Amino acid sequence: MRIGVLTAGGDCPGLNAVIRSIVHRAVAQYGDEVIGFEDGYRGLLDSHFRSLDLDAVGGILARGGTILGSSRLERDRLREACENASDMIRDFGIDALIPIGGEGTLTAARMLSDAGLPVVGVPKTIDNDISSTDRTFGFDTAVTVATEAMDRLKTTAESHQRVMVVEVMGRHAGWIALESGMAAGAHGICLPERPFDPADLVKMVEERFARGKKFAVVCVAEGAHPAEGTMDYGKGEIDQYGHERFQGIGTALAYELEKRLGKEAKPVILGHVQRGGTPTAYDRVLATRFGWHAVEAAHRGEFGMMTALRGTDVVMVPLAEAVTELKTVPKGRMDETESVF
């Protein structure tokens, strides 16, 4: 069998572990040939690919990023790919294509599958917002990085009697903010799923100071918005990939809290540091299992499907099911934390 692999969308710790796992299983178990398309779907469209043998994936298990490079694909180019799907199968001689990516990548995978390409998807995103899978790899690493950052910020905040507003990633789903905020014991958590009122955060900080706890950490997801009429904060424009250009909620909220409280409030934007570097053990294991199961699915001819974690098992689910809606934080999960929302 000839298998094509690509990584698309925002990178994520664990991508290399999947690539390695696919190559190990496909080459060592089945004697397959594996090729890697460079820079996501662009490599497929522009015929940029290279052979991936056991040597090519040596030593990459713990490495962050992706050895294949990644990119986001413009919609027009995706249409082009779908129209030429059968030519691509013939030109590359591939029997299976394994795209590894988030919602955008899996939507493209579904479209290519509908157009006739033999596709097996592997979900990835630090945001953990793909429905049909309990977890995506990369999420555990991002939560670990954000938690450690907040642990550190707490000690300096306490020394200087400050409020720290820590902005983490999460456009539509606040999983990183929820779990890192919970793990670090953040005093306030703001999620995209629930518009927040800065007055609640002001009250929380004032109560803490009155009790002699003269510092606070607020964890805010980049996609969080204040409730209408509570604070000046505009919605951003939509970019060419359909994403809102954020206005910087961390900075805006720190400014607002400082103004209302008359106390120092500092924004800390964690940004891409959450996505870079070595994956945690959990993410390495999940990524490796996903790679293994993707190869098995390809050999069973189970196309139009993707790997998913259900409980502790890896199963195959239809791509169509995975991309219909995002997995957001349910109210019950917010209720479980003591932080102010």
Q: Which of 57, 109, 119, 169 binds ligand F6P (CB under 6 A)?
A: 169
Question: Binding to ligand F6P by residue 38, rule CB under 6 A?
Answer: no
223/304 with CB nearer ligand F6P: 223
Query: Is 127 a known active-site residue?
Result: yes
Element (H, E) at 140: helix 139-160
Give binding residues for ATP as ranges.
10, 72-73, 102-105
**Residue 57 DSSP label:** G
265/323 with CB nearer ligand F6P: 323
The one-letter code for the residue type at 31 is G
Q: How far apart are CA 29 and CA 175, in angstroms?
A: 37
Cα dihedral value 197, 143, 22, 241, nearest 10: 30
Nearest-approach distance from CB 291 to ligand F6P, in angstroms? 20
Q: How far apart are CA 275 and CA 262, in angstroms?
A: 34
CA angle (319 as vertex; 34, 68 as ends), nearest 5: 35
Give binding residues for Mg(2+) as ranges.
103
Catalytic residue among 11, 32, 39, 127: 127
102/123 with CB nearer ligand F6P: 102
User: One symbol per residue from 270 to 289: x for binding ligand F6P (CB under 6 A), - otherwise; what is it?
Assistant: -----x--------------
Q: Which of 40, 170, 174, 192 binds ligand F6P (CB under 6 A)?
A: 170
Name the segment binding ligand F6P (CB under 6 A); options: 58-66, 168-176, 258-266, 302-310: 168-176
What are 120's two structure tokens?
């097996």
What's the full length of the chain, in residues? 341
The one-letter code for the residue type at 337 is T
Q: Which of 4, 10, 43, 279 binds ligand F6P (CB under 6 A)?
A: 10
Q: Which residue is nearest to ligand F6P (CB)?
A: 169
Nearest-approach distance from CB 104 to ligand F6P, in angstroms? 8
Name the segment binding ligand F6P (CB under 6 A); options: 60-68, 166-174, 248-256, 333-341: 166-174
Provide the terminal-to-terminal Cα distance of the chain, rounded to the nearest Å: 51
DSSP track, 231-279: S--PPPPB-TTS-B----HHHHHHHHHHHHHSS-EEEEE-GGGGTSSPP
Nearest-approach distance from CB 281 to ligand F6P, in angstroms? 21
Nearest-approach distance from CB 67 to ligand F6P, in angstroms? 17
Three-state SS sequence of 162-177: CEEEEEECCCCCCHHH
Q: Just list the catalytic residues.
A: 127
